[in-house]
Structure 1
Amino acid sequence: MLRPRSIRTRYTMMATALSLLFLVTIGVSVDLATRYRVEANAFEDTKAVASQWSAAVRNGSVPHTLPAMTRVNLIQIVDADGHVLQASKQAWNRPPISTVHPPSNDRFQNITSCEPGRGCVLLMAIRVTPAANSPVVYAGLPEPSILATCWLELGLFTCIVLILAFVAWITWTLVGRTLRPVETIRARMSEITGSDLSLRVPLPPGRDEIAMLARTANQTLDRLEIAVKQQRRFASDASHELRTPIAGLRVALEDAIAHPEDVDAQETLRTALSTTNRLEAIVSDLLVLARLRASDPEPPEPIDLGALAKEASTGRIDTVPVHVNATGDVRVSGCRSQLMRVMDNLLNNARRHADSSVEVTVGSENGQAVVSVTDDGAGIDPHDRERVFARFTRLDDARRRDPGGTGLGLAISREIVEAHGGTLKVEDSPRGARFVMRLGAMTDSGRPGNRL
């Protein structure tokens, strides 16, 4: 069985089918009830007339021609032999309208008598007395046209067809009007391509499901546009950052092959190794960024930020010393390995720019865990404080102090912190640069507190 593809068609057919079932049930009920009521009324009238003349027969006061006072105009008094004794004017010139002779134990009988060429008659037959030779009074009327013809059924059928047509039209119109915004959304979505994500679907009025669908679609397109822009920018920056060391490595190797007598082979190998190390670092950081966006988050666990800072500050004794000052038990809920990477990145950045020491403070403030990493170096200009978190951004001082850096450490750190519902910023400091990380601190119940 073929199923219509259009929702509008399916709903119209469904509404029409249900209406047809309901209307047919109602129509049959109305038809049967009407026929029963008309027939019952007719028999009531014939019974009243037949009873009246039955009493008159018993009293011996029956005229030769029986007057018809109501619509019951077929009246006959027939003896036991089937001879018409008295009759109404309309029933004199016809044989007995019925041959049914009620028995003595059932003197009243409703009869429908049909004769060729005369139609059918609804009548009441009453046996006057229980005696064997008792006459019978017949009182009848022609079958009403509503019972004798199909006009009732034809009228009901016409009403059903008209109502079905109205229901189908109403359903088709309302469903079409309801789905019109969906068609508009579909047409607009078909215009959106990967090269142009600026289009948005029109928002229908109201707050129904279709309006919510349109808002969700626009929100999804917003996120998709941001993600595509980030991906394109990231791909452009990554290709630029990778192209430079690869080009330098190629030039050095080609020069060593073309002029082996003029090139120091050991120096060329050391340069190639250094360039390879930088490429490896860039690729490693790129993989970290890709995992942060693509992978499912790890199950959170309680983390003591003071202990984490002390752990990250140990292990490297040949660098600038790090002093950790942890106040109280400051815990957050998150991924330990990711927050450890943030702490390592911040400490490595601080060591790289510090003159003599790095200070780490861990505390809580307004329901938040606050970690600040401060060095005593030259600091960061206010107009560069946001730029340092951009991917592949390296200030002149950073290039001078660490030529092999990738420029991705702080970008990775901010993405990790934001994924944990926190913030990472550069704030004012009397000397040097001060990086401040804020996360929602865990309460006594074990739940994260307020987050920015």
Structure 2
Amino acid sequence: MSFPANRLSLQATLALAAGAFSLLVLTGVAVAADLTIRMAVERSVYEASQRAATDWIASMTDARPSPPVTTSDVDLLQLVDSSGNVVAASRAAAGLPRLSLYWPSSDNRIEHRRACSPSGCLMFTAVRPSPQEEQVLWGGESHVVYAGQEQPAILGTYRLELYLALAVLTASTLAMGAAWALLGLALRPVEAMRRRMAEVTVTDLSMRVPVPPGRDAVARLAHTVNDTLARLESTVDQQRRFSSMVSHELRTPLTGVRTELEEALMYRDVDPHESIGRALTALDRCHGIVEEMLILARVRTAPRRHERVNLTELARDEVAARKAPIRIHAEEDVMVYGNAVQLREVLLNLLVNAERHADSLVEVSVTRAEEQAIVTVLDDGPGIAETERERVFQPFVRLDDARRRDPQGSGLGLAISRAIAESHDGSLTIGDSPRGALFILRIPLANAL
């Protein structure tokens, strides 16, 4: 059965993970501590028993030494001869049978042993005196000294393990609680962002999420969310303005279509062919506006599919296709990465616009500068006022001179051209010139990408 992690919050999941990790680590630490403590206690007992046995042997001066005086926990001492008889013993071991039947060999005279019975366990050290000591004291007869004590409770029970387990569980619980609290503090800005995002609606995109101090991941997330909201607000505003302008631009020709058709139905003296012809003209204008709207939408939303484009050849081809006198100066093989169809559309829009406003001449140049391809289109017409130079790139914006020279224009050509330039990581602006309008198209060179 899988753990339902998807039902838990991020805070709970991470807190449980922290608790599980601390439990795993502390369990390993507790096991190591248990083994270390047990070994240390055991080593201490055997060292004390060995010391007590060797000190008693060193104090012996005759075959039947006096009982030893015990000053530590090692209170059970016996001297046993080769026949198994207890020759001497400490007060606590007096009257007891020999502590063990084990007899150390001559090669290994000191042995640590543990003997258990129903009444408990005994930890002792069996020490066999050296041959010289046996010769002096007992005429060479083998003797053994047993020194021991009852096994400490910490080694005979699971009390140590119980204490360690309680400590591990307590520490793991505290670690999980601390992780829960710290995660709550860390996720508090995220929760604040979530609440603010829940308040954002399509009718009001001006709200922004609170940005916590610092430069951590949460602060960067807040900045990213606010940047996304700003872009979304700008896009929605553009869409609203665009929809409003579209409805305004389409209303006039559609009203004309309706008027012509109603006149043809209501008045018998009106030539229906003329009315239908004028209605078709108005519908052609609607069709042109819709087509250019679709082009603008595709430029803004379609994925990029760029290839190497020779901007010099593209400009020369478009200039050659025009009937008006156009002077061109182009450096050879100015290469860019882009969509050839879209770039051709930009050049066509700029040339048509220049022809519309020129008095006698249009000049085109294609050059390189600062790792950019620069295309300029200059006419010798009345020019564009500096205050209007950004406004003409807005959809459906047409200046009075443009409406007079081309009443049927849609006002989308320059907006489409700028959108194409920006989709190529470039720009389309209007520069200063002594006379006429100077349009400047900049696109990164192919070798600069």
- The corresponding residue for 1:38 is 41
Which residue of structure 2 aligns with residue 314 of structure 1?
320
Closer/same/farther in 2, CA of residues 74 and 373 from structure 1, 3 Å limit: closer
Post-superposition offset of 1:134? 4.9
Asked if 2 retains the 8 angstrom alpha-carbon contact of 1:322 and 1:360, the reply is: no
What's 2:76 paired with?
74
Q: 1:380 to 1:102 in 2, by over 3 A?
A: closer
Gaps of 5+ in 2: none
* Structure 1 residues 89-127: Cα deviation after superposition (integer angstroms, max 9, x where no partner): 12224333334455677654433234444x332122345
Contact kept? 1:330, 1:362, Cα under 8 Å = no
Query: Which runs of structure 2 are paired with 1:19-418 in the superposition (5 Å)?
Result: 19-53=22-56, 59-63=62-66, 65-79=67-81, 82-101=84-103, 108-117=110-119, 119-126=120-127, 134=142, 136-259=144-267, 261-305=268-312, 307-317=313-323, 321-329=324-332, 331-333=334-336, 334-364=338-368, 368-418=372-422
Residue by residue over 1:231-253, the C-alpha shift from the partner in whole angstroms, topping out at 9 and shown as x without a partner, is 11111111221122112101111
Q: May I ask how many residue pairs the two structures share in their alignment?
A: 438
Q: 2:437 is matched by which residue type in structure 1?
A: R
Deviation at 1:328, TM superposition (A): 3.4
Shift of 1:55: 6.5
Matched residue of 1:447: which SS? helix
1:163-189 per-residue CA deviation (whole Å, 9 max, x = no partner) reads: 223322322222222222222222222
Residues 109 and 126 in structure 1, CA contact (< 8 A), matched pair in contact too: yes
Would the aligned equivalents of 1:345 and 1:410 in 2 still touch at CA under 8 Å?
yes
Q: Take 1:49 and 1:295, find their aligned partners in 2: how far apart are those partners?
A: 93
Query: The residue matched to 2:51 in structure 1 has which SS?
Result: helix
Letter in 1 for 2:342: Q
- Inter-CA distance 258–38: structure 2 relative to 1 (3 Å threshold): same
Q: 1:424–1:435: 8 Å Cα contact kept in structure 2?
A: no
Task: Read off the aligned partner of 1:277 and give its amino acid letter.
Answer: D
Q: In 2 relative to 1, CA 62–223 (structure 1 residues): closer, same or farther, beyond 3 Å?
A: same
Structure 2 Cα separation of the partners of residues 228 and 43 of structure 1: 85
Question: 2:296 corresponds to which letter in structure 1?
Answer: L
Aligned residue in 1 for 2:19: 16
Contact 2:425 2:444 in 1 (8 A): no
Q: In the aligned structure 1, how far is the partner of 2:165 from the partner of 2:55? A: 41
Unaligned runs of 5+ in 1: none
Q: SS of the counterpart of 2:166?
A: helix
Change (3 A) 1:425 1:330: farther
Deviation at 1:364, TM superposition (A): 5.0
Identity within the alignment, %: 42
Distance in 1 separating the partners of 2:376 and 2:108? 112
The TM-score normalised by the length of structure 2 is 0.86
Pairwise CA distance, 1:439:
1.2
Could you tell me how far apart the structure 2 residues matched to 1:110 and 1:427 are?
A: 101
CA–CA separation in structure 2 for the residues paired with 1:143 and 1:441: 87
Per the TM alignment, residue 136 of structure 1 is displaced from its structure 2 partner at its CA by: 4.2
Measure the CA separation in 2 of the matches of 1:208 and 1:390: 39
